[in-house]
Amino acid sequence: MRAINHQGMAKRLVQRLKELGINNEAVLEVIQRTPRQEFMPESLAHQAYENTALPIGNGQTISQPLIVAKMTSLLLESAPKRVLEIGTGSGYQTAVLAALVEQVFSVERIIQLQYQAQRRMKRLDFHNIAMRHGDGWQGWPSKAPFDGIIVTAAAARIPDALLEQLNPNGGRLIIPVGEQQQELLVVERQGEEFMQRSEGAVRFVPLVQGDLA
């Protein structure tokens, strides 16, 4: 059986992301060297460098590389050091962030996914990630404020707790919002004012609120 050339596939993926408008070289470099095949079932590893979302179990998906690159690029515009991620999932977005910022705090409501992601991070030798089993709608109050918050599931509305946990001096929230129709919002905080813009239509699994799984 021929070995899969993940390195070559990663280079082709990055070239595709450039063609689709991703121009942050630091983000592209990290995506090229992050082993996406490690964050999905082995049966799907041959699809690891396709620009598509893939199932990871528990009704969740690993996000499309284009979306990971876009959300990460938007977040980095404000040069964050401490970032909160809502929805650890497979840990792929977490790993990309951890290679680009000083510290990542990640909250996951499905404990099985959290355990799997923790094992991956240990295996891949990441030391600047803290993980928590919790309700993403509540954020991580004891670790706030955050320079950046990235949400990897679609909320019906922007959670107040996440706005409160943003750094008042330019903290930035990247979040998909909506139910049948979703859009990617960028919210920036200056004091008690929040400026918001849309970065277009997206499709994410819902950000579930309440009882933990």
Mean pLDDT confidence for 123-152:
96
Bridge partners (DSSP) of residue 60 are 57
The percent of residues in the chain predicted with pLDDT above 70, rounded, is 97
Task: Note if the bond before 55 is cis, omega within 30 degrees.
Answer: no
For 49-62, the pLDDT digits (tens) are: 999 999 898 888 89
Which amino acids are annotated catalytic?
Answer: 63
Residues in a beta bridge with 195: 188
Sheet of strand 103-108, all strands in order from the earlier edge strand to the far edge? 129-133, 103-108, 82-86, 148-151, 169-178, 182-190, 193-202
* Residue 1 banded pLDDT, cuts 50, 70, 90: very low
The third-level CATH classification (topology) of the domain covering 51-202 is Rossmann fold (3.40.50)
Parse the chain into domains and list their residue ranges.
51-202
- Token code pair at residue 38: 């490690």
Average pLDDT for the chain: 93
Structure tokens at 45: 């590893």
Contact by Cβ (8 Å): 49, 10:
yes
Quote the pLDDT of residue 15.
96
DSSP output for 145-205: -BSEEEESSBBSS--HHHHHTB-TEEEEEEEEEESSSEEEEEEEEETTEEEEEEEEEE---
Please name every residue paired with 206 in a beta bridge, in sequence order, or none if there are none. Answer: 154
Residue 207 has pLDDT above 90, yes or no: no
Tally of CA atoms within 13 A in the half-sphere of 94 that contains its CB:
34
User: What pLDDT score was predicted for residue 4?
Assistant: 66
Q: Is the dihedral of CA 147, 13, 17, 43 positive or negative?
A: negative
**Which tens digits make up the pLDDT trace of 99-116?**
999 999 999 999 999 999
Which residue, chain included where needed, has tokens 């909160």?
84
At 28 the three-state DSSP class reads helix
* Tokens, residue 102: 């000083």
- Is the per-residue pLDDT at 80 higher than 50? yes
Q: What is the dihedral of CA 184, 109, 54, 146, to 10 degrees?
A: 40
